[in-house]
Each structure stands twice: as structure tokens, then as C-alpha cells.
Amino acid sequence: MLILVMVAGLTTPAPVGASPPLRGGELQEQISFNAAEGLQRKIEGIKAKKEKTKREFVNVSEVEVESYVMFLLQQKKIPAKMEWVDVQFTPGNVATNVQLTLGPNTMGNYVVDKIIQGTHTLWVKGKFEGAGGRGKFDLESVRVDRLPVPVFLAEVVFNRLVKPMLPQADIRQPFQLPFGISSLTILPGKSVVLY
């Protein structure tokens, strides 16, 4: 679901287990399994909603998304090990900085695997719109180990790594928001999900 949200250069996020970052001068909650489970409960609540006529909303924090990615999403078949992740929500934008360790057979091509294996920092930033039950993510910036990567090359990697797990995923096309979500608004530090 949020596999693509990734960031580099603006901040240096701490590894999991380090002190929580200071955002806006306040101590924020840490990445944790409990925060991941909290987001899972919110997702289950959205899925279970029976009455579709009355709209409800739920707030989702950056830390909940980070926790979900680290503790629950990583349990699924992802071809890389995530060392840490830092999600940043700003009005209409999502950015993620993640450190990934790629194994020797990630891409299925011996030469490419030899080049990319190891630990890398990936930053992805883009605009996100979610209204009328549809979502659209416009990829704006990608960096690998602080080096800019052309967006078209990032799309090739997306098609190679994500498409096999999510065949319907298309980075260039609007998509149906899952679970009957009507809209998703990105605000500083959180997203607001209307369902």
C-alpha cells in the first residue's frame, strides 16, 4: 500500500531503537510494534465499516506509517530488508527516506545484482491526491545514496520490484483507494482518511 513512500538529504533519520526525533520542538512517539498494530486496527476498522452513508475519518501519523512499514509490511514478501524508515507528510506531499539492504538475488540478473547488492539509502518524494475514491501519486524526486535518479529509471525499478507483488499497480495512473476510502488528505505530520 505505502511501499513507494521514500526520502534523502533533508534529514538524517535515526535507526530503529534510537532516540525519537524532535519535530516541531516536541518529543514524538517512537516507531514501535504497538504503533504498527494501532494502524492495522485502523485499517481493519475501515474495512469493517458497514454503514456507507455516514462518513467517518481517522488520522494516521507518520510514526504509525513508519511502524507499519518496519514491523508489518516487512513481514510480507519484500525483496529487501529495511533497516529504518522516515516518513514525512507535508501538505499534499509524501516523502520517505529508507535504508534498504538488498541481497545477492534481488533483481534476478547476476550483473545487476552484483552492482546493487548491499545497503543503500533511498529517498522518494511526490505529490499525493486522494479524492472521490481515487488516488494519484506523482513521483517528483528519487535519490539513491544521495545521488539523484531519473524518474523514468525509478519507474523501471518499480515495475521490476513492486509489480510482481501488486500486478495492478501502475505508478503513472490514478488508482482506486482501498477499503471504500473516499479521500485521503496529506497534512503536516499526518494524513486524514475519510471513509
The confidence score (pLDDT) of residue 128 equals 95
The confidence score (pLDDT) of residue 189 equals 96
C-alpha cell at 172: 503513472
For the chain, give the secondary structure using H, E and C: CCCCCCCCCCCCCCCCCCCCCEECCEECCCCCHHHHHHHHHHHHHHHHCCCCCCCCEEEEEHHHHHHHHHHHHHHCCCCEEEEEEEEEEECCEEEEEEEEEECCCCCCCHHHHHHHCEEEEEEEEEEEEEECCEEEEEEEEEEECCEECCHHHHHHHHHHHCCCCCCCCCCCCCEECHHHCCEEEEECCEEEEEC
What average pLDDT does the structure give for the chain?
A: 81
C-alpha cell at 5: 513512500
Residue with the three cell numbers 481515487? 134
CB-based contact 107:95 (threshold 8 Å): no
Residue 174: is its pLDDT beyond 60? yes
pTM, entire model: 0.76
Question: According to the per-residue pLDDT averaged within each range, which of 52-61, 114-123, 128-137 is highest?
Answer: 128-137
Type of residue at 34:
N
